[in-house]
Amino acid sequence: MKKRIAILTGGTSSEREIALASAERVRSALSDHFDVLLYDLPKDMDKFLSEYRLIDAVVPVFHGRGGEDGAVQGFLRILGVPFIFSDVEAQAIAFNKPLAKTVVTQAGIITPDGKVIFDKVGIVYHNPVVVKPVDSGSSIGVSIVRNAADLDNALDIAFKESSGVLIEEFIKGDEYTVVVIETGSGASALPVIEIKPKTEFFDLKSKYDPSLCDEICPAPISDFLATELKTAALAAHRSIGARHISRSDFIVDKDCKVWFLEINTIPGMTANSLVPKALTVANINFGDLLALWIYSLI
């Protein structure tokens, strides 16, 4: 008899539709391995609460606040239901960008200088900066500010997404991302992906519209730089206590210095997402990988 696996997805964040698309891909990947049920929360919460005792493990597929910040993971801990991906603490650290930056710097990784603000009083523009919500994903609410006239509007956009805003030093360079996965032999980094957006930066539209961005895997870079990026991604994964999978984003400047931007503990898994691209190049079956993580828990 097949094990019964529940996919919890949806949520109420601004990334809800992306989460639903990721969940459908996860359901398709798991359908040969398990009896898969999908619950769209919060709509299906009562149904899940009436059935969770019959479920062997959960795959939480959320992007954004409420699902990628440790809240759902804490809920599952209370219910006593095993779940894949990172646990409560790692989810909470990764989702809070300044906190994640603080933690990974302890592992020797450099990251752009920044400060967190909770209102606009006394904020003065000095140099090009990146303005981003403290706790949001998919580049929602993020702006690159290159002149003083645009700062106020950028802050308004970011504050719509979060009560805290990170104003971060703008680092000019090339953008890369590295997926880390855990298998029976431990954590390993997948081939580096170079991200070349055709818009100003890798914003929400660029992430899910292939015509707006080139995502090259493996990245056409030297073995030395690829190793540096992979080493940094592995260090970030381990430093926050991530489990099963993470994806770290970096900028490499003109001096080939690697700058950590952020880490994602439930990265996008849609057909246009970065994780499937890296898995394909590494010749790793997505469904088999998910099954490996699930069987490690049950």
Catalytic residue among 15, 69, 135, 175: 15
CB–CB of 102/96 below 8 Å? no
Tokens standing for residue 4: 């019964």
194 catalytically annotated: no
Which listed residue (14, 66, 249, 273) is catalytic? 249
152 is catalytic: no
Strand 129-133 and strand 143-145: pairing? antiparallel
Q: Which of 74, 89, 208, 272 is catalytic?
A: 208
Quote the CA–CA distance of 242 and 247 in Å, as a whole number. 10
Could you write out the DSSP letters of every residue in the chain? Answer: -PPEEEEEEE-SSTTHHHHHHHHHHHHHHHTTTSEEEEEEETTTHHHHHHHGGG-SEEEEE--STTTSSSHHHHHHHHHT--B-S--HHHHHHHHSHHHHHHHHHTTT-----EEEESS-TT----S-EEEEESS--TTTT-EEE-SGGGHHHHHHHHHTT-S-EEEEE---SEEEEEEEEEETTEEEEPPPEEEEESSSSS-HHHHH-GGGEEEESS-S--HHHHHHHHHHHHHHHHHTT--SEEEEEEEE-TT--EEEEEEESS---STTSHHHHHHHHTT--HHHHHHHHHHTT-
- Read off the tokens for 218: 């493996």
Question: Which of the residues 135, 247, 248, 273 is marked catalytic?
Answer: 247
Among candidate residues 136, 143, 264, 273, the one labeled active-site is 264
Q: Is 268 known to be catalytic?
A: yes
247 is catalytic: yes
> Would you call 162 a catalytic residue per the annotation?
no
Residue 249 known to be catalytic? yes
Pick the catalytic residue from 13, 86, 96, 138: 138
- Residue 44: how many CB atoms within 10 A of its CB? 17
47: tokens are 């149904």
Catalytically active residues are 15, 138, 208, 247, 249, 262, 264, 268
